[in-house]
Amino acid sequence: MKKLNLSVLVAALALGLNAHATVLTFEPSSNTIFGNENVGDGLAVGSWGGYDFTSSGDHFHFINSPSFSTLPNNGTGILSEDRNYSISMVEGLGGSFDLLGLDMAGNNDNGSAALSLLITGYFTGGGTISTSITLLSAASFQSELLAGFSGLDKVTFDGIGGGGGFALDNINVVPASVPETSSMLMLIGMGVLPLIAARKRLKNA
């Protein structure tokens, strides 16, 4: 009888840990502006990849492959907040999510770039988590990983210092309905233990 290859099984199950991660890349077919800063009613919502974005001042853009020098350019589409407003992000159907990381840059398009980006996560059960990340450039993006931004129902991004302008790209999110890594590993262990016992029985038979 063939031996049970447990290492192959564990590896295959582990591959599913991040299978449900989504990267929001902001690749519109044309440049799009959401909201009018002269209105400021906070009702203009831009949606991408199942998530809704709203500016505190009703003004932000999805920009396809920016080519003008006042915007940071990574060769792909970006989310641009070129005024001194914050952007909130929620799951479109009202679910919770984990924020794993993103790309960010300063934005000189309409004034001067922010000096740092304040990211605040709002936990579904109450409470918040926040981190402030220094923006190294207004010309190119930097990639940042986040820890502890799990089980959120909202995240806000706020440019701090300078003129407050910033840009985002490649936001890496996972719906919180997907088991956390620790829970998934526990489930893997629960499935593997009976196989180990079965393998020992076969070996001793």
For the chain, domain boundaries = 1-19+180-205, 21-177
Residue 172 backbone phi and psi in degrees, to 5:
-100, 115
Each residue's pLDDT, cut to its tens digit, for the chain (205 residues) gives 444 454 444 444 444 444 578 999 999 988 998 988 877 777 789 999 999 999 998 889 999 988 778 899 898 999 999 989 999 999 999 999 999 999 999 999 988 999 999 999 999 999 999 999 999 999 999 999 999 999 999 999 999 999 999 999 999 999 986 444 444 445 445 554 454 555 555 555 5
Looking at residue 111, its pLDDT comes to: 84
Q: Does the CA dihedral 9-10-11-16 come out positive or negative? A: positive
- Encoded tokens for 141: 């993006």
Amino acid at 54: T
Beta strands in the chain (DSSP E): 22-24, 32-34, 45-48, 51-55, 60-63, 78-81, 86-91, 97-106, 116-123, 128-134, 142-145, 152-160, 166-175
CA 1 vs CA 40, 109, 128: distances in Å? 71, 68, 55
Report the topology of domain 21-177: Jelly Rolls (2.60.120)
pLDDT tens, 119-136? Answer: 999 999 999 999 999 999
Looking at residue 9, its pLDDT comes to: 43
- Encoded tokens for 116: 């740092």
Count Cα neighbours of 199 within 13 Å in the Cβ-side half-sphere: 11
Q: Which residues of 138-159 are buried (b: 16+ CB within 10 A; e: fewer)?
A: beebbeeebeebbbbbbbbbbb
Q: Nearest CA to 169 among 132, 144, 195, 199?
A: 144
